Amino acid sequence: MIDSEYIASHFHKIGELGIPDLESFRLASIAIQRERNPVYKRFDGFTYLPVQAFKRKPIVSFPVEEAEAVFISSGTAKTASRSRHYVKHLDVYHRSVVNHFRAVHGGGKRVILAHLPSYIESRGTSSLVTMVQILIDEFGLPGSQFFLDVMPPESVFSSGPVLLFGAAFGLIVLAESGSFQLPDDALIIETGGMKAHGREMSRADLHTELAHGFGIGRTQVTSEYGMCELLSQFYMRDNGLFYPPPWVSFVILDPADARTPLPEGETGALAIFDAANIYSVSSILTQDKAIRRGSGVDLLGRFSGAELRGCNFLVEERIGTSSD
């Protein structure tokens, strides 16, 4: 029997001998969460819960007081409401982060530097800061650290390969200052966020600017895609597409009808199943515009509120407009 505890303990082993396949995990998760998650239960007839619901109610399949952490989405002080993801077991997040990073970027030790302005102030509730801290703890060499205005000394580069992890808006400021050069073999992983800070730039142009500003090759700049409502991440490959770990699947849905999948090559709303989300809700409809290309996804930015009017109405109809 595949129950929630089994999924939480084995999701990262999908593909190994004797472990059920992803579809088995997906169907079991939906059944469990329909029964135990009072908000998801209200969306009968819809597989994917609109991500906006995380701003309205606790999305949990367990008693909320048992949560070991609460991840809160980023935003300015004027933000009316933010998503809250109640995490029952941080170990689930740890295994998701570590196993996918190792599969994509290898398990070698490196100097991990993190520049996350506006996130670091919320260290205890930021899923991004928590993720990077997990990576530092697991893969970091001496000298690995978070930094803001003061650059780490170049002496830290002598410990080994360098990985600079950061929010796009902060990295571009550093790059444009021209005051911080990385070793030739360094890798940059940016996490997006330019538009949220009042500046628009294509991902290709951003990566070109970062490579030039930090003095490394263009192919040594890549991206990560994640959100506080999910416990797993997508990583970009050289073809510019984003790929999930084996315990995550995705479909592209018609933004006007969240029950209608679109064929490969058509633009729609990205919907994600994440087995690591077994204690909240695993099937989430994001607000991100995307195209499926094979087993990868081409991320095109965020839908406007008007484009997602149908999803917003669905949330208001099923759970109301107030937040708890």
41 and 136 within one domain? no
pLDDT, residue 323, reads 57
100 part of a folded domain: no
Confidence of residue 316 (pLDDT cuts 50, 70, 90): confident
140 and 36 within one domain? no
* Domain-ending residue, one of 199, 228, 257: 228
- We report the CATH number of the domain holding residue 56 as 2.30.38.10
pLDDT, residue 123, reads 79
Mean pLDDT of the chain: 91
**127 Cβ contact partners less than 8 Å away, ≥ 6 residues apart:** 71, 85, 93, 226, 227, 228, 231
Confidence of residue 321 (pLDDT cuts 50, 70, 90): low
pLDDT, residue 76, reads 47
Beta-bridge mates of residue 49: 284
246 part of a folded domain: yes
Model pLDDT for residues 122-140, shown as the tens digit of each residue = 778 999 999 999 999 999 9
Helix (H) or strand (E) holding 134: helix 127-139
| Domains identified in the chain, total number | 2
Model pLDDT for residues 7-35, shown as the tens digit of each residue = 999 999 999 989 999 999 999 999 999 99
134 and 44 within one domain? no
Q: CA–CA separation, 288 vs 308, rounded Å?
A: 10
User: The pTM is what?
Assistant: 0.93
* Domain-ending residue, one of 179, 205, 228: 228
126 and 18 within one domain? no
User: CA torsion angle for 138, 69, 168, 156 (degrees, to 10)?
Assistant: -30
93 part of a folded domain: no
Model pLDDT for residues 38-54, shown as the tens digit of each residue = 999 999 999 999 999 99
212 and 247 within one domain? no
78 part of a folded domain: no
* Domain-ending residue, one of 191, 207, 228: 228
Q: CA–CA separation, 134 vs 117, rounded Å?
A: 18
92 part of a folded domain: no
Let me know how long the chain is. 324
88 part of a folded domain: no
Domain containing residue 276: 4-73+240-319
**Is-contact 11 275, C-beta < 8 A?**
yes
47 part of a folded domain: yes
Q: CA–CA separation, 69 vs 240, rounded Å?
A: 33
Model pLDDT for residues 93-119, shown as the tens digit of each residue = 999 999 999 999 999 999 999 999 878
Model pLDDT for residues 195-251, shown as the tens digit of each residue = 555 567 899 999 999 999 999 999 999 999 999 999 999 999 999 999 999 999 999
Percent of the chain with pLDDT over 70: 93
pLDDT, residue 77, reads 42
248 and 208 within one domain? no
- We report the CATH number of the domain holding residue 164 as 3.40.50
85 part of a folded domain: no
181 and 131 within one domain? yes
191 and 280 within one domain? no
Q: CA–CA separation, 2 vs 13, rounded Å?
A: 14
